[in-house]
Each structure stands twice: as structure tokens, then as C-alpha cells.
Structure 1
Amino acid sequence: MGRNILESSLKYASFSIIFQVLFRCITFVLNAFIVRTLGHEVLGIMNVRLLLLESTILFLSKEPLLKACLTNTKSHNWAQVINLIWLSIPIAFLLSICLVYIWLNVLSPVDDIFLEQYKWGCYSIALSCIIEQCTQSIVLVVQSFCFVKLKIILDTIYILVRTFIFVCLVMYNPYSAIGAFAIAQIISAIILGISYFVFFAWYIPNLKMHNKKEQTNSQLFDDMKDFPFRSILDFFPGMMKNENNMLNKELCVLTMSFTRQSLVKQILTEGEKYVMTISPVMTFTQQSMYDIVNNLGSLAARFIFRPIEESAYFYFTQMVQRDVPVKNQNKESISESALVLKQLCNVIISFGLVIFVFGQSYSYTLLYLYGGQNLVNNMLPVTLLKFHCFAIILLAINGVTEGFVFATMSNKQLDRYNYVMVLFSVIFLIISYVLTILLGPVGFIIANCINMLSRITHSFHYIRNMYRNSPYKPLDGLRPSWKFISVLLISSYCTKLSEGSFLRTSIFAHIFIGAIFFFLTIVVWSLDNKELLKIGYDKYKRKQLKK
């Protein structure tokens, strides 16, 4: 692990944001294409029912193993780790058998016109998930040794290939859209797996040649003399030399903790889709409309907060030791990690507040530009998007604080928290079901807000206890300055006036006024955070000088 962990984490977050922007742009264009060409029901079957099957299989089969194996990678016995990560394949296989049976025989049926394509879609999703698990050993190595650009490039190729194949097949035969979706899933999963293996089949021999030279001349191979893999076969179970047990007991225990945690987290993350799927609360058409608004409202979370959360989790797992009190840990690492957490809190609360303030005045505008008049004739989508803007603040706070909690908890604490998460999940599902019956789709968002507030409260309690007898107070980053709050209040008032005055007569004038106040808000925030921006700029300059 010769590469700088913080630098690599920041780089991964930056590239991930770019990737998420590209992915979401493709998704939105694709959704519009599906709705205009094929109708809402097809979009509901694919985006809610089938993608929920894929999400459930992949998350439960790989997330616990991957999180456990990413913990303290510097001291890994890689032979044991590779053996452990390959367990994701039989787990995915068993999950596929159970879940496909449920999706085909237990859940509410689809219309007869889509039935055969739907069956083929379920089988194809399961097969593509199993294929994807075959690359998890390489994905683990890619993340552990900070092959940031490789992962982003291959993920981008995966999305582009899947989209291209789907669109081509639909253009050829619009009535087989679900079948085209299934074929695209399988082919793109195969291409992704082959790409990973081909890269390391090329990289490992070239790394050997590079290490024999006295002078280094390639950033791709620098600082990788401790790379433990000497052949592409080492990525397969039982191939590396190993004098110890086949599996690491500590990692197995940690995996079990993460398994229970992942099961609960999956319910919390995809709870509204499970409620939609299991109960006849909404039709496929209504589900597709909710999904469109939900994705649109989650732009910031997917573009910015999720990459930051993933990178922060990896960073904190390397900098903060589990089961060791703060006072007994490396002072420099603890000090740096506390400062990073404080700065992250400051950044995400600022983003969340900006989105909330401007979202109240520009939800109608955004939906109108995206879907046209038909999408905003009913004010429900506008109401949903406004509620989403509030949920984004909670989502931002929860993502970073809970990521820190999961990265630093001991095994016993993780086990205890799993029971708390079970309680949160049960309450969330009950509240979602009840509020959806009473309030419709808005009930899903309100239930999510209640759930996130509960999790945030727990995370705050854990972080305060962790730093109780130390000089560090990272949660102070969640307190914006009075200048920033003032400019947000002014912006909120003025953009609301603009919406009432110009929206119906000149939408571009309304957008222009919003742009002015948005720029003013960014300027005030930048002046408040000059030191943080200076650190980022200095790191960028040093990186450019190295090149």
C-alpha cells in the first residue's frame, strides 16, 4: 500500500462523481426514451421489479465480504482473503434460486403480454449477477491497491455497452424491450469480467519487468513493489502459497457482522421498492413515475454524496483501528481523520442546504424541462421532488457519519448495532406501508426521513462517545456559519418571488435569477472555507508538479 491513502480516496471520489454524472445522464435519457417509445409499465417492470432483483442479489452476496476484506488491507494474508471473497459466487447462486422463485411465483404477476419476457428477464438478471461475482477478487485488489482510473474506466465501459446493446435491440424490435434489457445485462457483465482479467494478465508480467529496472519511469507501476500477486492464477482460490488456514477467522467473524448489517441496510436502502413490489400499493405505471422523480431528486446523492461516502469509508478503515481506544492510537492518524471528518461534515451539510433551498423554487422548472408539460400537469411530481430536497440533507449527513461509524466500530459494536438496524428496518417498513396508504408516494419519502433521522441520531451518539475524552469535535463541521445561513435565507425569499412572478411568463428569467443567487451562495461559502479550498488547491498544484 505504497500509495497515499487520502490522495487515492480523494481521487476515487472525484472520478466517481464524474462517472455518476455520466451514468445518471445516460439513465435519464434512457428513461425518457423508454417512456416515450414503450410506455410507463415497461419502465416500471425494468427499473423497479428487475433492478430490485439485481440489487438484492449483488448487495447481499458481495457487500459483506467486500467490506470485511477491505479492512486493514496492509496486513492481509492475501491467500486467505482471495479464498474468502470467492464465497460470493455460491452465495449469489443460492440467493438467485430463492429470489427468482419468489419473483416468478409469489409477487404480483405482470400482464400476460410481458410474462415471457419477464421470466427471461429474471433468469438473465440472476445469471449476470453470478458472472459479476467471478470478478470480485480482482475488484477487491483494484480497490485495495488504489487502481482508481481502471475501476472508473471499466465501470464506464460497462454502462455504455449495456446501454448501447439495449437501445440497438429496442430499435430493432420495440416490443421485446424487457428481453433486450436481459440480453444487455448478460453481455455487459461478461465484457466487464473479461476486461478485468485481461488488464491484470497484462499488468503482472509488466510489473515484474518494471521492478527489475533500476529506474522507474511509469506511474502505473510505481510504489507497487509490494504487490503480492505473481500470476493471474493467484486471483483464483487455493492458488497462492499459504501455510496457514484456508480462511482468516477474524475476517469470517467480521463478514458475519457485515452480513446481518447488509441485510438490514438493503431493506433500508430499497425499502420503498420492496413495499411497492410486495404489496399492491402502486401500479407499475405509478411505480415508474415515482422512480423517475425519485432518481431526479437523488441526483446530488448519487453524483456527490455516494462517491464521498465510499471513499470516506475506505479512508477511515485505513486510518482508524477497530477495537483500539482513541488515546491508544497513532496521534497523527487520529488527528488527520478527525479533521477530515469535520471537513466532510461541513461540505455535505452545505451541499444539502443549497439543494434544499433552491429545490423549493426550482422543482417545477426542473420537471418541466425534463418531462414537458405532461409531467407537471399533476402537481404530485413537483411535491415529491420538494420533499426529496429535504430528504437530501438527511441523506448527506447520514452517509458520511454512518460511513465513519461502520469503518471504526468493533465487531461487538457492529453486532449490537445490527439489532438496532433490525428495529429501524421493521419500523421503516411499517411506517412506509401506512404512510403510503394515507399519503400516497409522498409517504415513502416521509418514512425515509424518519428512518434517516433515527440512524443519524445513533451515529452522532457513537461519534461523540468516541471523541469524548479527546480535543477533537468533528461534528462541529455540521454547523454552518451565520453568513452562509443568511445568504441562503435571502436566496430562498428572492427565488420564491421569482417563481411567482416569472415562471409562467419567462422560465429563462426565473432560471437566470436563480443562477445569480446560486453564484452568490457559492462565493459566500468559498470565503467561509478559504483554508479548506487552499488545502485542496495546494494538493492539486503538488500533483501537477509531479507530472
Structure 2
Amino acid sequence: MSRVHSLAESSRLDRLMEKSAKGVTLLLFGQMFTKLSTFILNQILITYISPATFGVNMFLEFLINTVLFFSREGIRLSAQRVKDAETDSDEKSDKHSATLQSIVNLGYIPLMIGTPLASVVVYWQYGRFSELFKHMQLFKLSIALVWLAIVVELMSEPFYILNQFNLNYDKRTRFETAAVTLSCFVNFGIVFSFKDSEIDGLPIVAFCAAKLVHSMVLFISYIWDYQNFKKRNKNIHTRPTKILVGHSNSYYFDHDAMAHFYTMFFNLCFKHLLTEGDKLVINSLCTIEEQGIYSLISNYGSLLARLVFAPIEESVRNFLTRLVQNTDTKAHLETTVGILQRIICFYLYLSIIIVIFGPLNSGFLVQKLIGSNWSNSVSDTIPLYTLYLPLLALNGILEAVHQSTATGHDVVDYTYYMVGFSAIFMTTSYVCITKLNLSLQGLILSNMLNMTLRIVYCYRFIKHFYNSHAVSFSLWLFDSKTKSIVTSSLVIWALDCSLLGVTRNWFELLASAFFAQVLVIFIMYKEKDLIISVVKPKPLD
């Protein structure tokens, strides 16, 4: 009987790994298209708008993302903790339907939280909006569009969470690609159709309208897909439906998921405070022009993180959460250690490339891209931001593992530490910006410090988690191949610095790109076995 159970567990893990691996690929390509589309659009638009206008748009986007984050992030993570009953028997099939209905029910909580929260935030910030563009003719329309965009996007949340629970990344990729494409057309079309118009603040209206279109496309896509899903699963209802347990008990929301949500919510508040803390600080201590400049730096500097790191983190988080909730066998946990070590090894090599070539070349590249409307401080600041990216990447993957394996008590403990991290970050930011006059560089240095603190905490937690299950865990295996790659990287960096230095023209950029290509080829050669194992993974025994 135990042999049958073991085979069933291995089969489940195989399915989860297969879906997760496929999901990473789909999300990578989907994020690549959507983020590059947005990046290209912003690149075109910044030649027509001022840093102040760009700063206002980024401030509005910050508000939208903040409301969406607080409304839905806790439920998205907690819904993955609902235990599923996948089997062919009729009894378990009914339980599986109840599980899916529970997921749909949970998806309505973000709408219940987000609608009043959006109203409060928009009303609270109304005075600040007025100061920023009080002379704009379509000011009230822009505010209304922001509120409506938030509500409409939250309306699609029950169906989004259901797709995430079923690991249907292909649908999500298609829907988000369509939403971003159409919103880009709307933003681009409004600005260029009325570029000679005397309507003040038109780029802000275009941004808000594009956000609403993005939300509407997502909602229409998910509700259309859900109607097809209901035809195959007639026991699932669109509205929140009471789920019966036995003859007398019933519930709307899964108790384990809600318990995790309650403990997770406050942790997410502090995480968001740290993750978006740079925006909070810069909104308080810097001018609107500096806000626009920092937003541009973040868009350029974090493009790689949003294209590559974010999809990997999300897939790992969903995979580990589902795995840990259904099995905690030593063999399966050892498998996850191998997967994490491969990912961290990839992050290490990518970080080496970023650290070597980012500071030397990013200033010249950005200076050629941004146009004459922007200050030279952009090209002076972004080299330091490239050194921040490896910390951002490592923290992302470690926090994804922490969120997947942490109990309610662990989440509360992390919240206390996050309070301390927030205090340290705010203090160092204030000192660096106002006392040392480091401006944006000071903000980046403070971010690097708080990311380091979070990395240390999460690594110690993960190591303790695996050790408590008698599984050995280390951040990466520093073997002979890794040593030779690090040594070769130092040699190439020394050659690049001595022969070329900081890039000043296109010839030096091409020469630096040649050095980078040599290093990438050498890494691929040394890690060819690892690449083959990722491309053609062996099935579990």
C-alpha cells in the first residue's frame, strides 16, 4: 500500500514539476513581450513628455499597484494552500469540485477589500493630485479612470486565482499579452492623435485610459474562459457559493487559507513598505522631477528582473506551496533542493555578468536612449542601480521559498523583523538623502542594505526548514566549475577595465559586448551538463 502511495506522490510531483517548468517558459515569453512592449512605448513617449509628467504617471501607477497589492496578494498566496483532492473516484471528484468552488469564493475577497480601499486612497490623495496638476482640464476624469481600472481588474480575480491554482499559465500569458498590447495602443494612440492639442495633461489622461483598457481586457478574457470552464465543470458556480461539509457544517471560505491570509496580510504590508519603500521615500523627500528620473531608472534597471526573475519566482512559489501542502517526504524535498540550487546557480552567473558589464556600459546606453528632456543624473545613477539587481534577484527567489514553506507562526516572526528592516531603511534613506546629499544614489544604497538583511533572514529560515526535515541545504555548490568561472570572470573584468574602462562611444560598447559574449560562451561550456539537465530533465523514479 505504501508503494502505491509513493508512486502516486511521485506522479503528483512529476505533474507539478512539468506544469511549473512549462509555466516558467510561458511566463518568461509572456513577460518578455508585455514588458518589452511597455518599455518600448515608454521609450517613445519620454521624448514627448517632461520628467514631471512622467513622475505623475508613475505616482498614479504606484497608487494603483499599492491598492491591488493589498487587496489581492494575500489571497493569491493563501489560495495556493487549499488542499486539493485529485483522483478518479466520484467521492474525491466531488471534493475536487468543492476545492475549486472554494478557490472561486476566495477570489471575491480582493474585490470586497479593494473597492472601499481604492475609494479611500483616491479620496485621500485627491489633494496631492490637485497640487501636481490642478490646472489640468480633465483632472476629475483621470481620477475616475484610476478608480474604475482598479475595481474592474479586481472583478477578474476569482477567475485568475482559479487558473493559477490549476497552473494554467498559458491562458494567463495570452490574456495579459492581449491586455498589454491593447493598452499600449490606447496610450500611444491618444498621445499621438492629440499631440498638437492644447488640452493640458493629456499624457496623464492617456495613461489612465490605458490602465482601464488593460483591466477590461483581462476581465473579459477571464470571464469568457470561465464560462467555457463551467461547461466542463457544472458543479462550479460563478457567484460565491456555500460549500457543504457533511450534513450540518458549511463554509464559504476555506479555513486554512483564511488563517494563513490573516497572518500573511500584515507581513505583506511591511513587505510592500520595503519593496515600494523607495517610492514612498522619494515621494516625501524628492521633487517631482527627481521622482520621474528615479521611475525611469527603475524601469530601465529592473527590466531584466521583471522579464526573467519575476516569472521564475512565481512559478517556484506556486510549485513549492502546492508540493509542501500535499507531501513533505524527504525524497521530494531533496528534489526541491536540487531545483533551487540550479536556479540560484543561474542567478549567480547572471549576476556576475551584470556586475561586470552593467556599471561600465549602462550609463552610455541610457544616455543614448533617453533624449534631451532628461537630466544627466540618469546616466550617472543607473550604474549603481545595476549593482543592486543581483541582490534584488536573490532576495526574490529566497522570499518565494520562504512564503511557500512558512507556517503562520513563521510569518508573524518575519513580520517583526520586517518592522526593524523598515525602520533601518527609512533611517538610512533619510540620512543619505537629506544629511549626506546623496540624492538618488543614497536611496539605492539604502535599498541594497535592506535587501541584504532580507536575504540573510530568508536564507537562515530556509536552511532551518530543510534541516528540520533531515535535508541538507546550501545556497549553492561552490565546486571546481564555479571556481573556474569566477576566476575567468575576474580576468575578463580586469581586461575590460584596463583596456576600455567606462564606455564612452559605440566602439567601446561593441568591444565590451565581445568580452561579455566570451564570458557567456565559457559559462555555457563549463555548465553544459546543467543546461542539458534543465532542457531535458529526467523523470523521477
User: TM-score scaled to structure 2, two decimals?
Assistant: 0.87
The structural deviation recorded for 1:471 is 4.8
The structural deviation recorded for 1:118 is 4.2
Q: Which runs of 5+ in 2 are unaligned?
A: 1-10, 86-95
The answer on 1:408 being equivalent to 2:411 is no
1:168-247 matches, within 5 Å, as 168-174=189-195, 175=199, 176-205=202-231, 208=232, 229-230=233-234, 234-238=237-241, 244-247=250-253
Partner of 2:510: 512
The structural deviation recorded for 1:181 is 1.9
The structural deviation recorded for 1:119 is 3.9
The structural deviation recorded for 1:368 is 3.0
Partner of 1:217: none
The structural deviation recorded for 1:65 is 0.8
SS in 2 for 1:238: coil
CA 274–120 in structure 1, closer or farther in 2 if over 3 Å, else same:
farther
The structural deviation recorded for 1:30 is 2.2
SS in 2 for 1:234: coil
Partner of 2:472: 472
The structural deviation recorded for 1:240 is 6.6
1:28-43 matches, within 5 Å, as 28-43=39-54
Partner of 1:56: 66
The structural deviation recorded for 1:304 is 1.1
The answer on 1:255 being equivalent to 2:272 is no
Partner of 2:362: 363
- The one-letter code of the counterpart of 1:474 is S
The structural deviation recorded for 1:111 is 3.6
Partner of 2:30: 19
Partner of 1:161: 182
Q: Name which of 138, 143, 148 aligns with 2:159.
A: 138
CA 120–485 in structure 1, closer or farther in 2 if over 3 Å, else same:
same
- The one-letter code of the counterpart of 1:439 is L
1:451-462 matches, within 5 Å, as 451-462=450-461
Partner of 1:487: 488
The structural deviation recorded for 1:455 is 0.4
CA 132–239 in structure 1, closer or farther in 2 if over 3 Å, else same:
farther
CA 7–397 in structure 1, closer or farther in 2 if over 3 Å, else same:
same
Q: Name which of 82, 86, 91 aligns with 2:113.
A: 91
In the alignment, the residues of structure 2 paired with residue 139 and residue 471 of structure 1 have an alpha-carbon distance, to the nearest angstrom, of 34
Contact 2:148 2:212 in 1 (8 A): yes
1:387-402 matches, within 5 Å, as 387-402=384-399
Partner of 1:422: 419
In the alignment, the residues of structure 2 paired with residue 371 and residue 526 of structure 1 have an alpha-carbon distance, to the nearest angstrom, of 33
Aligned length: 504
SS in 2 for 1:36: coil
In the alignment, the residues of structure 1 paired with residue 104 and residue 432 of structure 2 have an alpha-carbon distance, to the nearest angstrom, of 45
CA 111–191 in structure 1, closer or farther in 2 if over 3 Å, else same:
closer
SS in 1 for 2:251: coil
In the alignment, the residues of structure 2 paired with residue 151 and residue 73 of structure 1 have an alpha-carbon distance, to the nearest angstrom, of 22
- The one-letter code of the counterpart of 1:196 is Y
SS in 1 for 2:135: helix
Contact 2:82 2:254 in 1 (8 A): no
Query: 1:329-368 deviations in whole A, cap 9, x for unaligned?
Result: 3122111111111111111122112111111221223213
Partner of 2:290: 286
SS in 1 for 2:131: coil
Contact 1:15 1:149 in 2 (8 A): yes
SS in 2 for 1:474: coil
SS in 1 for 2:476: helix
The structural deviation recorded for 1:13 is 1.9
The answer on 1:320 being equivalent to 2:321 is no
SS in 1 for 2:61: helix
The structural deviation recorded for 1:289 is 1.5
The structural deviation recorded for 1:58 is 0.3
The structural deviation recorded for 1:371 is 2.1
Partner of 1:266: 272
SS in 1 for 2:222: helix
Query: 1:444-482 deviations in whole A, cap 9, x for unaligned?
Result: 111110110110110121122223363522313478822
The structural deviation recorded for 1:21 is 2.3
Contact 1:79 1:241 in 2 (8 A): no
Query: 1:231-287 deviations in whole A, cap 9, x for unaligned?
Result: 6x623211776662222222111001221121111111111111222x2x2222221
The structural deviation recorded for 1:60 is 0.3
